[in-house]
Amino acid sequence: MKITQHGKYLVQLTRLVAFNSFLVREDDGFTVVDTNMGGSAAGIIKAAETLGAPIRRITLTHAHIDHVGSLDALSQLLPEVEVSISSRDARFMAGDMSLDPGEPQDKLRGGYQVCATTPSRLLKPGDFVGSLEVIASPGHTPGHIAFFDHRDGTLIAGDAFSTQAGISVTGTLRLLFPFPAMATWHKPTGIASAEALMALKPSRLAVGHGKIVENPVPAMGWATAEAKRRIYGSDHAPQKVY
Ligand SMILES: [Zn+2]
């Protein structure tokens, strides 16, 4: 587990070069954002110990296996810690793979893992997990959420963007690292979410896969324009995406 500090509050925990979890520093300890693939629990706990603060909360951007893979192990080791995820993606964790009537009826892609852990808190946009505001960012999964740290403008975007093999919006294929694109449920929804995240004007972009980008808004703009060109043939998306 590689540990990298970015600014005052964000710690990046990386496995196998391209798989990130994060520790976000709060006054009372750390919030874990995403638990990485299976086998990461001990490394996440050791990282927090090394940095000298307890883990207080675990929260999840979405229910794919490389983000919830170590949730059960981690919450068994830390039974008192709050576990949160969007109410929408919590259904996948519980094994309910149904789509709602109002949602695009596209195939769910990527590995979803049924978890023994029941989230102690279900999140909706506008909620806060510590200092992190929950931002709706569906598309990669129906209930994907990002986290915006108002203290320093850090955006933890999960798989709404990827920076591995070049920055991209979810669903834009990068041949050197195709997995997030292949795991994306509904690309037009993902593009609309990318624009909403860009509108937050983050100072730092942290993603599930790839390096952290400082002053990311121009790069997010290029990536969004590329995604639109690939889907719509121009930079201009239709008014209604589905
Ligand atoms: Zn994913």
- What's the 239 CA to ligand 1 centre distance in angstroms? 26
**Residue recorded with tokens 């834009």:** 172
**From the CA of 159, how far away is ligand 1's center (Å)?**
5
Residue 128 in domain: yes
6-15, 114-123, 166-175: which range is least confident on average?
166-175
Q: Does 239 reside within a domain?
A: no
Residue 222 inside a domain? The answer is yes
- Give the mean model confidence (pLDDT) for residues 56-74: 97
Is residue 25 situated within a structural domain? yes
Q: What would the mean pLDDT of 35-52 be, rounded to a whole number?
A: 97
> Does residue 94 fall inside a structural domain?
yes
For 204, the 3-state DSSP assignment is: strand
Grade residue 172 by pLDDT with cuts at 50, 70 and 90.
confident
Is residue 148 situated within a structural domain? yes
> Average pLDDT of the chain?
94
Please determine, for residue 74, whether its predicted confidence score (pLDDT) is greater than 50. Answer: yes
Asked if the structure places residue 241 within a domain, the reply is no
Cα(170) to centroid(ligand 1), Å = 9
User: How much is the pTM?
Assistant: 0.94
242 pLDDT higher than 60: no
pLDDT-derived band at 91 (thresholds 50, 70, 90) equals very high
Closest by alpha carbon to 210, among 242, 169, 240? 169
Q: Give dist(CA 179, CA 176) in Å, integer.
A: 9
Nearest to 75 by CA among 29, 44, 112: 44
Residue 238 has pLDDT above 80, yes or no: no
pLDDT category at 240 given cuts 50, 70, 90 is: very low
Q: Distance from the CA of 168 to the center of ligand 1, in angstroms?
A: 13
Residue 17 Cα, ligand 1 centroid: separation in angstroms?
Answer: 16
Q: What confidence tier does 237 reach under pLDDT thresholds 50, 70, 90?
A: low
What residues make up the domain containing 43? Answer: 2-232
Give just the sign of the alpha carbon dihedral 122, 127, 129, 135: positive
Distance 140 CA to ligand 1 centre (A): 6
Query: Within a domain: residue 170?
Result: yes
- For residue 85, the domain's CATH number is 3.60.15.10
CB-CB contact of 13 with 20 (8 Å): yes
pLDDT digits (tens, 9 = 90+) for 189-213: 999 999 999 999 999 999 999 999 9
Structural domains counted in the chain: 1
pLDDT at 10 over 50: yes
Instruction: List Cβ neighbours of 218 (8 Å cut-off, separation of 6 or more).
Output: none
* Nearest Cα to Cα of residue 7 among 157, 202, 222, 137: 202
What distance in angstroms lies between residue 91's CA and the mean position of ligand 1's atoms? 15
